Amino acid sequence: MTHAVATNQTILVVGGGVSGMTAALEAAECGRQVLLVEKTPTLGGRTALLYRYFPKLCHPTCGLEINLRRVKASRNLRVLTQAEVTRITGARGDYSVALKLAPRYVNENCTACGACGAAVEATIDDPYNYNLSKMKAAYLPHAMAFPQRYVLDPSIIGTPDGEKAKAACRYGAIDLGMKVESLEIRVGAVIWATGWRPYDAAKIQPYGYDRYPNVITSLEFERLADPHGPTGGRILRPSDGREAKDIAFIQCAGSRDENHLRHCSRICCMASLKQTQYVREAYGEAGKSTVYYIDIRAIDRFEDFYSKVLADQTVRFVKSKPARIAEDAGTRDPVIHGVDTEGYHRYATRHDLVVLAVGMEPSVNGADVPHEIVADSSGFIESAASGGFFAAGCASNALDVNRSVQSATASALRAIQIVRKADRVEA
């Protein structure tokens, strides 16, 4: 698989999240040759780590499964995981791309039986649970991982654990001698679907994410609610493992703030409204959600969902961006301090758990992308001088899954236009 044949009629898609998969599939299903490279060991990106989608509260695994079937069925699409773009040169229609492939230490023989994971003793932080839990150093990223092959963490290579994994494998799938490989390919157009990362909540100093265990991010909350998550779907407080029934959601945690992210991250309002329904699902009338907000941005058809949550007696709305969070030293309960805008009342309200609806930051912000890429003031990709680069999904703007998919489809069409031109020149 390391010998991906590519020509200047190939489209390179960088990033294997929902946007990258969509862009790659749309182009491939139009008959174009597509190479999809993903930095981590699996496709799926951040959407695979969500418990449910808004507004229908359906599970992301469903859409992911459909896309993975399309990936498996497509003869025009090649997928490289653990691959990173290190350099791009050339011009529109004819780029030369250098790729670096990190070793997986597991070859195609793997059946994902899990024997190596059982044999290995070392554990590492589990990034698929936002490091809320540990996992074995021989692991399958998550249940929906593609390719369905285990990965050995580089930290156990050369240790007895590495040998244990090899000894446990009955299929000869473990190859401890794998090395970093480099690859040079030609492509005609590049789609950047490099996605987003949550804004570092610790930078919002007054909210104490770095100091108080019961202040978590919305992404971590998503994992807590997920039955595949670290708590088996129970909403437990990190400090004492007690059930959190009185939960506060703080909007614009990092977004719409000149000191943090200038832009509105668009998804967080709906994400918090959705998460209040996780609380209701878990506790019924006994649960309590409080949403602290500047204004709720539930656009177009999402208004219906917002109305539904507004009518929910277990959800309370406080129009205020909290000034700070303190902690009750005895109980470790977070206490939110602020002044509300509807009446200017000063409040200090105790909760079991505070969820910061953190903003979206483009992953490529400050990363090693070609200089010709033009980004906006938040680091989202706008355009590129040579005209052969396109951004898809959250690399281009703060978008929800639905809009990411639309954006990805649009970028696929643009990339097809470029390689079609290259096609004609050749002929």
Partner 1 sequence: MGAPGEFNLAALARYGNDFLAEVEERVEEGEWVKMCMQCGVCAGSCPFGPDWEHSPQKIFMMIRAGKRDEVLASDSMWMCTSCYNCVVRCPRKLPITQIMHGLAAYAHRLGLAPKMQPTRRWSLLFWDNCTKTGRVNELKLTLGLYFMDGIVAGFKQAWTLRNIGLGMLLAKRLNPFELIRGHECKDKAGIHRMLKKAAEIEARKRGFAKP
CA dihedral sign, ordered 279, 355, 393, 68: negative
CB of 254 vs partner 1, minimal distance in Å: 10
With CB under 8 A as the contact rule, the residue among 259, 313, 371, 424 that binds partner 1 is 259
CA angle 86, 91, 97 (to 5 degrees): 25
Q: Which stretch binds partner 1 (CB under 8 A): 42-50, 55-63, 332-340, 382-390?
A: 332-340
Q: With b meaning 16 or more CB within 10 Å and e meaning fewer, what string describes 183-213?
A: bebbbbbbbbbbbbbbbebeebeebbbeebe
Neighbours of 56 (CB within 10 A): 9
- Between residues 160 and 206, which has the closer beta carbon with respect to partner 1? 206
- Does 202 help bind partner 1 (rule: CB under 8 A)? no
Question: Under 8 Å CB-to-CB from 374, ≥6 apart: which residues?
Answer: 381, 382, 383, 384, 385
- Does 337 help bind partner 1 (rule: CB under 8 A)? yes
| β-pair partners for 353 | 247
- Does 256 help bind partner 1 (rule: CB under 8 A)? yes
Q: Which stretch binds partner 1 (CB under 8 A): 252-260, 276-284, 355-363, 367-375?
A: 252-260
- Beta strand 77-80 with 288-293 is unpaired
Specify the DSSP element, H or E, that contains 374. strand 373-375
Residue type, 197: R
- Between residues 236 and 294, which has the closer beta carbon with respect to partner 1? 294
Q: Pick left, alpha or beta for residue 172 (phi over 0 → left; psi -120 to 50 → alpha; otherwise beta).
A: left
- Beta strand 389-391 with 189-192 is parallel
CB of 247 vs partner 1, minimal distance in Å: 20
Q: Which stretch binds partner 1 (CB under 8 A): 97-105, 265-273, 320-328, 389-397?
A: 320-328
CB of 350 vs partner 1, minimal distance in Å: 16
Site for partner 1 in 54-83 (CB under 8 A): none
CB of 85 vs partner 1, minimal distance in Å: 35
- Does 100 help bind partner 1 (rule: CB under 8 A)? no
With CB under 8 A as the contact rule, the residue among 108, 227, 344, 368 that binds partner 1 is 344
CB of 385 vs partner 1, minimal distance in Å: 32
CA distance 344 to 329: 28
CA dihedral sign, ordered 248, 254, 255, 258: positive
- Does 245 help bind partner 1 (rule: CB under 8 A)? no
Q: What is the DSSP letter of 106?
A: B
Neighbours of 44 (CB within 10 A): 25
- Does 377 help bind partner 1 (rule: CB under 8 A)? no
Site for partner 1 in 260-319 (CB under 8 A): 260, 294
- Between residues 140 and 354, which has the closer beta carbon with respect to partner 1? 354
Nearest to 4 by CA among 97, 108, 70: 97
- Does 200 help bind partner 1 (rule: CB under 8 A)? no
Neighbours of 10 (CB within 10 A): 26
- Does 338 help bind partner 1 (rule: CB under 8 A)? yes
CB of 126 vs partner 1, minimal distance in Å: 33
CB of 323 vs partner 1, minimal distance in Å: 3
CB of 258 vs partner 1, minimal distance in Å: 4
Q: Pick left, alpha or beta for residue 254 (phi over 0 → left; psi -120 to 50 → alpha; otherwise beta).
A: left
Distance of CA 280 to the CA centre of its chain: 25
> 């981590």: which residue's tokens?
40
Q: Which stretch binds partner 1 (CB under 8 A): 30-38, 41-49, 305-313, 331-339?
A: 331-339
* Alpha helix ranges (H) inside 252-313: 268-283, 303-310
Neighbours of 248 (CB within 10 A): 27
CB of 320 vs partner 1, minimal distance in Å: 4
CB of 339 vs partner 1, minimal distance in Å: 4
- Does 252 help bind partner 1 (rule: CB under 8 A)? yes
- Between residues 236 and 347, which has the closer beta carbon with respect to partner 1? 347
- Does 346 help bind partner 1 (rule: CB under 8 A)? yes
CB of 249 vs partner 1, minimal distance in Å: 15
- Between residues 287 and 322, which has the closer beta carbon with respect to partner 1? 322
- Does 323 help bind partner 1 (rule: CB under 8 A)? yes
Binding site for partner 1 (CB under 8 A): 206, 252, 256-260, 294, 320-324, 337-341, 344, 346
